[in-house]
Amino acid sequence: MAREELYVSPFDPAALRPAALSLHLGLRAQVLVPRGAVDVADVGTHPDLITREPDARGCLALWPGEVMLAPTQERIALSGRLAGLVDGTSDYARLGISVVLSHQVSPGYGSDVSGGAILTLEIVSRLSEVVYLRPGTRIGNLMLLHCRTAQRIYPLMAANYSRDVDVRASRLAEHSVRL
């Protein structure tokens, strides 16, 4: 694979696995706090994003049923010939924690911003007690797929996250059908 097809920073050769690149939990996180019923086409009804700071031990608390949006430590840029699939690790799944509810990373993701873009992980606890997540630990994998050059790369599509350097709220209302 040509060097310019993939950018990862910071890159650790130990993160290379047989079929994927390990991703690590970033330091900052936000949680979704609903205000009531959500109409996907009305951003005014979307949950608030509240910053979750690490505790005194450096851990991020994830409460039962809570949805946390957290960045990867790694910033990624894919060429128009690479796509990716993100998945949580089985270690987290075996603790009742779902990581990444939206798996696809489109060709060209992060290619239009210097230094690449973070991947936002959607993390949900299915346990009845608080879970303490530790930033910097391996939390997911990015499997890369080589493809034909995309006719339209992700940064050229409306309402995308390709320039994200921090977690952001849903942009669904920007492209939802209004009734």
For 53-96, write each residue's pLDDT tens digit: 999 999 999 999 999 999 999 999 999 999 999 999 989 999 99
Residue 2: pLDDT band (50, 70, 90) is very low
Residues 6+ apart with CB under 8 A from 54: 27, 60, 135
Question: Taking residues 19-27, what's their average pLDDT?
Answer: 94
Residue 101: pLDDT band (50, 70, 90) is low
Q: Domains plus CATH for the chain?
A: 3-36+43-157 (2.70.40.10)
C-alpha pair distances (Å), 92 with each of 58, 113, 130: 18, 31, 14
- Which pTM was predicted? 0.86
Higher per-residue pLDDT: 54 or 161: 54
Rounded to an integer, what distance in angstroms lies between the CA atom of residue 91 and that of residue 95?
7
Rounded to an integer, what distance in angstroms lies between the CA atom of residue 73 and that of residue 139?
10
The pLDDT of residue 19: 87
- pLDDT per residue over 105-158, tens digit each? 999 999 988 999 999 999 999 999 999 999 999 999 999 999 888 777 767 777
Lowest pLDDT segment from 10-19, 37-46, 94-103, 151-160: 151-160
Rounded to an integer, what distance in angstroms lies between the CA atom of residue 146 and that of residue 75?
19
Strands 6-9 and 48-52: unpaired
Q: Which helix (H) or strand (E) holds 93?
A: helix 90-93
Query: Which amino acid, residue 91?
Result: D
Nearest CA-CA partner of 72 in 135, 161, 5, 143: 135
The pLDDT of residue 37: 96
The pLDDT of residue 178: 61
Residues 6+ apart with CB under 8 A from 69: 29, 30, 31, 32, 49, 120, 121, 122, 123, 167
179, 135 contact by CB (below 8 A): no
